[in-house]
Structure 1
């Protein structure tokens, strides 16, 4: 995983409510249509911002840019956490490959550090907003409710261990041809994650694509 640059740092499905019901409402709230949804504002802001981030990350993945530095990208220093804008992709690509920096994606908001206009990175971030109907003007109007921040596109779990798990007997279930008393052997994963990362999403990324991949 470290050699591959880690795993995509997607938000898990629990951010979006049962069946993803808060996705559309969250985006409407961020677009300035949430006057009647004030009591659920915190949940909707979280769902909307998480949806936009996932869309951005998945778009970079689709374009083969998850590990490619673009001009204007907001990069994070892995040692200090400091953010800066990429002015020389060739230089910063070498730093990314060496593990010195990581690419961040947008948690859109009025005070988010953003790429300079006219850069490839800025164009990509703007394209995600245009696709969803959310505008920077609407985000600015929400003020302190939606300040915005940056989130690393990828993460590398620490202390990752994979081992065989023994079969487990389910004593509460009556055995039968369609209800066996033993579960088959499986695999046990143990790992550490930074704050804000999702264990369920990491296991999903390891297992492969499912319906949870898109918000």
Structure 2
């Protein structure tokens, strides 16, 4: 099956109908700002140097490579909690394993600014974030404003579908093109690159299952047989006869999940399983490759709560602020508000 960006992202249904407004995103890096919130408080001592860096025009990997050269350590000694876009202003944490050393950091190149440094006893690992805080400006808005406030209130109350954003699929869907090569039996020796391709394939499958639940208006409700998860938790448990009426669903604390396919683990049952199998049955070659590379199946929440959502209009633009959990995509929120042109 051909996997393309239109299938993976652009053609996905909206939870609250297609937005009546259109506009532009990221005309300047300052229009898209994000700040990482760590899931822990640095201890102030230990073998690992933690650096909070504000960057613009740099991708995360390039900053990590510069730090390894500047501090004279191997690239694998530099870690980060999350990947952030080059075309944005981002405040991001990096960790450097420097036992017994607190070197002076050379002057940072243009586009990088050191905000603070401290020490910690443990390695900074990918995903070690409590949240990402976004400040986004949408410009050149066109269309009726009457329903904008109502739509934003609905998003604050119900959240949005937790789609993987277009970034996961690469520039012009390049990661999906790479996944297609794997499906055709071609070998990709670069392990990190192969991981990106397999991750894109799983994201496409998840988005397709979620899209079907959006069409059926059950993306934020528990179906019989669903596997559930709590906000901020990785634990998965089966729904029971009382789950559909659990007030924690309405409170945006308890969510149904969808599949990140691989070697099977806990499986949904009843209506939830039937829906997932119907969507995935047309993707047999993709599923087989995920099994061949021995990826273990995981689950991901179908709903994305949008915390601390605030907004105001100025000079024909819409300024937004909100927080999302790690692994979520701000574009999944924005696409429910306006149609990006």
- Give the Cα–Cα distance (whole angstroms) in 2 for the partners of residues 86 and 130 of structure 1: 24
For 2:250, which of 76, 82, 97 is the aligned residue?
Answer: 97
Aligned to 2:311: 162
- Give the Cα–Cα distance (whole angstroms) in 2 for the partners of residues 205 and 23 of structure 1: 24
- Give the Cα–Cα distance (whole angstroms) in 2 for the partners of residues 199 and 97 of structure 1: 22
- Give the Cα–Cα distance (whole angstroms) in 2 for the partners of residues 200 and 152 of structure 1: 16
- Give the Cα–Cα distance (whole angstroms) in 2 for the partners of residues 98 and 160 of structure 1: 15
Query: Does the 8 Å CA contact 1:73/1:121 hold for their aligned counterparts?
Result: yes
Aligned to 2:208: 55
Aligned to 2:217: 64
Give the structure-2-normalised TM-score: 0.48
How far is 1:194 from its partner? Answer: 0.5
- 1:11-30 to 2 correspondence within 5 Å? 11-23=164-176, 25-26=178-179, 29=182
* Structure 2, unaligned runs of 5 or more: 1-154
How far is 1:36 from its partner? Answer: 1.8
Query: Does the 8 Å CA contact 2:160/2:332 hold for their aligned counterparts?
Result: no
- Give the Cα–Cα distance (whole angstroms) in 2 for the partners of residues 47 and 37 of structure 1: 15
RMSD: 2.5
Asked if residue 204 in structure 1 is aligned to residue 335 in structure 2, the reply is yes
Aligned to 2:301: 152
| Higher helix proportion (structure 1 or 2) | 1
- 1:174-193 to 2 correspondence within 5 Å? 185-193=316-324
* Structure 1, unaligned runs of 5 or more: 167-184
Query: Does the 8 Å CA contact 1:129/1:135 hold for their aligned counterparts?
Result: no
- Structure 1: which 4+ aligned runs deviate by more than 4 Å? 135-138
| Secondary structure, counterpart of 1:56 in structure 2 | helix
For 2:230, which of 68, 71, 77 is the aligned residue?
Answer: 77
Q: How many residues are treated as equivalent by the alignment?
A: 183
Query: Does the 8 Å CA contact 1:110/1:136 hold for their aligned counterparts?
Result: no
| Higher strand proportion (structure 1 or 2) | 2
- In structure 2, relative to structure 1, the CA distance for the partners of 1:136 and 1:51 (3 Å cut) is closer
| Secondary structure, counterpart of 2:325 in structure 1 | coil
Give the structure-1-normalised TM-score: 0.74
How far is 1:78 from its partner? Answer: 3.7
